[in-house]
Amino acid sequence: MKSTPPHGFLRWFRTLGPAIIVASVVLGPGSILTASKVGCQYGYSMLWVLLAAAVLMIGMTALAARLGVGTEKTLCSELSDRIGRPFAALVGIVLFLVVASFQSSNNMAVVTSIESVLASDTAAEVQGPSKTTLITLLVIFNGLIIATLFGLKNLYKPLELLMKLLLGFMIVGFGANLFLAGPSLREIFSGLLPRISADLAGGFWPMRNATGQVVDPLWAIQGLVATTFSVAGAFYQSYLVREKGWTTTQLKQGMVDSIVGISVLGGCSSMIMITSAAMLHGKISPDELRSAADVAGQLEPLFGPAATTLFSCGIFAACFSPFLINAMIGGLLLSDGLGLGSSMDAPWPKRLTVVAMLFGMSVAIWATIVGENPVGVIIFAQALTVLGVPLLALSLLYLATRRDVRDRVPFPAWMISLCSIGCVVTIALAARTAWKIWLQVSG
């Protein structure tokens, strides 16, 4: 007996995928912490920044999806043919180093999540898990993911299904707390109206204060933009649509996928920010929020353990979802940039993905042993981002404006315009980051 094909919403839901994966990798622990900090510090007033970043991300992701189906080869291969292999290799190497460095943050987030789950919150005298236990569980966690990476013959389909499930956990977890927070609809709509933060009175650039410390009042806002408008995630979208098997006949499908996937990303971030604005703004200092687990800890006295458990489930899903895909982005693009393979099921992308994972795990183990955050590694990743993110954005815009590519697939004027604005934004944020790093190292 033949199975009945799905109809209606289920069939439409199955057509989504690539942008859902992008949303999953972008919405990580850093996004949760940043959205919470901004909501805690500014209340509802910076919602318009999140909305603007999401709109830019939709434009960049949709453009990358069209490039994925409209170019004969993958993006790094196209860049190699048009500009030269050294340029494509540079794109792959820079992005791989950024991914490998930030993978340490993903590992640290997993350590924090494990610590939060295993530690007792009912008896103060009960100590949390030992360092040996944390390291052992971290090694097992990485080992299982590596085994899965090499055990599955077709990675894309199970990956897409897993990311959809994890996003569902995040929506439920963060949505429950939003409902309990009872935010003001009037203030939400007011926050969507663009306004200039009073912090801008101090200037656009980071500076030193009278005591010699580097001060950057806009760092949280910049982080909100960077953790929503992820050019690396958009760039990876072009590879995902090829893995999905889309062609130029699925242009409309790709547009819908980009809008829905990135809207979910922006929606989850907005739920977190609004919850923080409603419950934490004016009550605690944003500096008290040092990790995503701290956010759950601050909400527990307000909502009780049940709602906080749901929020923690959202955090765990956000920790797990980018863990593998973040490393895969670096491994795949480095492999493609070097001309070693461009499919997530090919040997070299998998090997280089493992290298990125092992580097991140090693840094997290070292940080767990010495009890310090890997600040130097994060600064190194930020420095590479200065070069890498504008490079990726300009590469997307360059390929989308080639005559032969535009002959195969149309790019609406609004899409090119959003991508152009996005390039300007990435260059401006990169310049601020470069100046801040210079102030830090020169001092």
For 14-45, the pLDDT digits (tens) are 777 888 888 888 887 778 888 888 998 899 99
Q: Answer yes or no: is pLDDT of 333 > 70.
A: yes
154 in helix, strand or coil? coil
Is-contact 67 405, C-beta < 8 A? yes
pLDDT in tens, 343-368: 888 899 999 999 988 988 888 888 77
Cβ neighbour number for residue 306 with a 10 Å cutoff? 11
> Quick one: what percent of the chain has pLDDT higher than 90?
31
Nearest alpha carbon to residue 343 among 156, 144, 178, 162 = 156
Residue 48 contacts residue 194 (beta carbons within 8 Å): yes
pLDDT in tens, 91-128: 898 888 878 777 877 777 777 666 665 654 444 444 55
Query: Beta strands of 86-231 (E only): which ranges?
Result: 207-208, 214-215
pLDDT given at position 262: 93
Mean pLDDT in the chain?
A: 83
Q: Average pLDDT, stretch 127-147?
A: 81
| Nearest residue to 167 via CA among 270, 55, 314 | 314
Please report which confidence band the pLDDT of residue 260 belongs to, taking 50, 70 and 90 as the band edges. Answer: very high
With a CB cutoff of 8 Å and minimum separation 6, the contacts of 59 are: 414, 415, 417, 418, 419, 422
Q: Tell which CATH classification among 2.40.40.20, 1.20.1740.10, 3.30.360.10, 3.40.718.10 matches the domain 22-442.
A: 1.20.1740.10
Centroid of chain to Cα 123? 35
And the tokens for 330? 């670096």
- Supply the pLDDT for residue 1: 46
Residue 324: φ, ψ to 5° = -80, -45
What is the pTM (predicted TM-score) of this model? 0.88
Across the range 1-12, mean pLDDT stands at 60
Q: Which residue has the higher pLDDT, 88 or 17?
A: 88
pLDDT at 122: 43
| The pLDDT value given to residue 207 | 85
**Residue pLDDT, tens place only, 180-220:** 888 889 999 999 998 876 665 667 788 888 787 888 888 88
Angle at 380 between CA 369 and CA 214, to 5 degrees: 95
> CA-CA distance, 343 to 354, in Å (whole number)?
15
pLDDT tens string 381-402: 656 666 688 989 999 999 999 9
